[in-house]
Structure 1
């Protein structure tokens, strides 16, 4: 669970990220979950978008994907959301969000 300070730091880091996945009009299936998990394991912090034709809101999609991947939902704005899952080794953000 992230604190508000940690979320603020991760929101700042996510500002310049490009969207890596889009949630379309289909269900959030295992393929999307596995792809999201692989991307989180590689990048730690990712930005995603929900298309207008989707049956999910950005908040719903973020909650579902965060739960299924074990990630934290950092931010939801409009149709975009940011997920974070810290690596066990060589984490890029561990020093930034270390509790002081």
Structure 2
């Protein structure tokens, strides 16, 4: 489980994520074990990852985003439309230093 982010940390991460492109896209199959493993690997290497979620209904997209956050132990930084930003501190490649 991830630790909750403060509002200052969330603002900081949103600013960093602004220029990022979506690294992972959730397709028609939804959240699969392979997708979770890929996101887990991306979070370990990059710490901040933007994910594009396809889905017809908002509730369906929200459920997929919540499931991704839960299964990877990542914090949801931001969600706008079909795009979500996740953050998880890397165990070995820590690059992002969060403000207090």
TM-score class normalised by the smaller sequence: 0.7 to 0.9
Secondary structure at the residue paired with 1:26?
coil
Aligned twin of 2:30: 27
* Aligned residues of 1:22 and 1:49 also touching (Cα < 8 A): yes
Aligned twin of 1:16: 19
**2:45 aligns with one of 38, 42, 54:** 42
Per mean C-alpha deviation after superposition, the further-off stretch among 34-43 and 21-30 is: 21-30
Aligned length: 96
What's the TM-score once normalised by structure 1's chain length?
A: 0.86
Secondary structure at the residue paired with 1:35?
helix
Name the CA shift for 1:90/1:31 in 2 (closer, same or farther; >3 Å).
closer
Distance 2:36 2:73 in 1: 11
For CA contacts below 8 A with separation 6 or more, give which structure has more relative contact order.
Answer: 2
Name the CA shift for 1:90/1:26 in 2 (closer, same or farther; >3 Å).
closer
* Aligned residues of 1:47 and 1:83 also touching (Cα < 8 A): yes
Distance 1:27 1:12 in 2: 28
Unaligned stretches of 5+ residues in structure 2: none
**1:56 aligns with one of 56, 60, 84:** 60
Cα RMSD of the aligned pairs, angstroms, is 1.7
